[in-house]
Amino acid sequence: MAYLTLLFSAFIAATLLPSSSELVLTAMVAKGEYSLFLLWLSATVGNVLGSCINYWLGIQLIRFRKRAWFPVSDKAIDKAEQRFKKYGVYSLLFAWLPVIGDPLTVVGGIFKVKFTTFLLLVSLGKGARYLMVLAFAIGLTNFI
C-alpha cells in the first residue's frame, strides 16, 4: 500500500496540480522499511503516468485552436511547432523541472510528439531525477 501511495503522490505531482512527491519519497526512505528500487519505480511510474495525462490534455487542447476565444493565433502556433520539432523535443528530458516541466509535457501533446518518443524522453528524465532524490534522501538519512 505504501508504494501505491507514493505512486499516487508522484502522479499528482506530475499533473498541473501542485504537489510534492519528493517529500513522500524522502520520508519513506528515512523510515527504512521499503525497497529502494520499488520506491524509485513507484515514484517514476506515477510521475510518468501523470505526464501522460498532461500529454493527452495537450492533444485535446489543440482541438480548440480554431475557436475565436483561443488565446494563440494559428501563425504563432505553427511557428512554435516548427521550433519545438526542430529543437525542442529533447527538452522533454527536462520535464522533471519544477514550474516548467509540467507545461512542457502539455506542449508535447499540443505538438503531437510521437508518443513513444515522448514516453522515452520523459521516463529518462524523471527516472534520473528520482535517482537523485533517492541519493539525497539516503545521504540525509545517514547524516541524521
Q: Can you tell me the mean pLDDT for 76-92?
A: 81
Is 144's pLDDT higher than 70?
no
Helix (H, G, I), strand (E, B) or coil at 19: coil
Residue 63: per-residue pLDDT = 86
In order of 3, 15, 18, 98, 114, the CA distances from 10 in angstroms are 10, 9, 11, 13, 23
Rounded Cα gap, residues 9 and 125, in angstroms: 18
Grade residue 119 by pLDDT with cuts at 50, 70 and 90: very high
Task: Name the grid cell of 104.
Answer: 512542457
Q: pLDDT, tens digit, for every residue of 10-62?
A: 999 998 677 889 999 999 999 999 999 999 999 999 999 999 999 999 999 88
Write down the pTM of the prediction: 0.87
